[in-house]
Amino acid sequence: MTTKTYKQGAVGALLDEYERAIIELQQTIADISDNELVAIVDHKTTDTNCKSVQTILAHVVSAGFAYAIDIRQLSGEKLTYPDDLLRLTVKDYHKDLNSVFAFTAEVFKNIRDSQLEQFDNNKKILTSWGQVYDIEQITEHAIVHVLRHRRQIEKFKIILSRQK
């Protein structure tokens, strides 16, 4: 039995849970074939990010980078947001998800626990969809975002298995 090493403090807890969510998503997609990846599963949705496992994963990856970029921009950095990348293999998305976590962990290297909560809305992140978050809130949102889309992919896998 191996012993899990936990990161320290509130920042460490957020990163540990984000990593766990990403690993669970990677486990969920591990057995999806290349054909299943690109197959349109939801023909009724008007959300282009939710038509196939491929579009969901492209959205999750670009959003993951965007959340970390939002945090970096709090310190005045100007970074461009990534576009959704439609990959053709689960293996590529597995690598992309690892990159999202590595980028996020790098962003948090200079963030202390005391910086996570912010009560002044003028010092918070204004998201592209109009919500205002502090670092802790946007990171919690990032974690739940992965979890919600993992659940969506689990439901897609049931549909795909019935189509075989």
Identify the domain containing residue 116 by its residue range.
9-162
Residue 3 domain-assigned? no
Give me the mean pLDDT over the 119-138 stretch. Answer: 93
Beta bridge partners of 133: 125
- Of the candidates 14, 18, 15, 7, which has an alpha carbon nearest to the alpha carbon of residue 143? 18
Residue 139 above 90 pLDDT?
A: yes
Residue 63 domain-assigned? yes
pTM for this prediction: 0.93
Task: Give the Cα separation of 84 and 109 in Å (integer).
Answer: 26
Amino acid 3: pLDDT: 64
Residue 75 above 90 pLDDT?
A: no
| Confidence at 4, pLDDT banded by 50, 70, 90 | confident
Task: Give the Cα separation of 22 and 29 in Å (integer).
Answer: 11
CATH code at position 82: 1.20.120.450
Residue 1 domain-assigned? no
Helix/strand/coil (H, E, C) string of 63-94? HHHHHHHHHHHCCCCCCCCCCCCCCCCHHHHH
Residue 123 domain-assigned? yes
Helix 90-107 to helix 53-73 angle (10° resolution) is: 10
Tell me the pLDDT of the chain averaged across its residues: 94
Residue 2 above 80 pLDDT?
A: no
Residue 4 domain-assigned? no
- Of the candidates 157, 164, 163, 161, which has an alpha carbon nearest to the alpha carbon of residue 28? 157
DSSP one-letter code for 132: E
Number of domains in the chain: 1
15-60 pLDDT, tens digit per residue, is 999 999 999 999 999 999 999 999 999 999 999 999 999 999 999 9
Amino acid 77: pLDDT: 87
76-105 pLDDT, tens digit per residue, is 888 999 989 999 999 999 999 999 999 999
Residue 2 domain-assigned? no
Residue 115 above 80 pLDDT?
A: yes
- Given a contact cutoff of 8 angstroms between Cβ atoms, the answer to whether 59 and 49 are in contact is yes
The dihedral formed by the CA atoms of 42, 101, 69 and 113, expressed in degrees to the nearest 10: 130
Residue 33 domain-assigned? yes
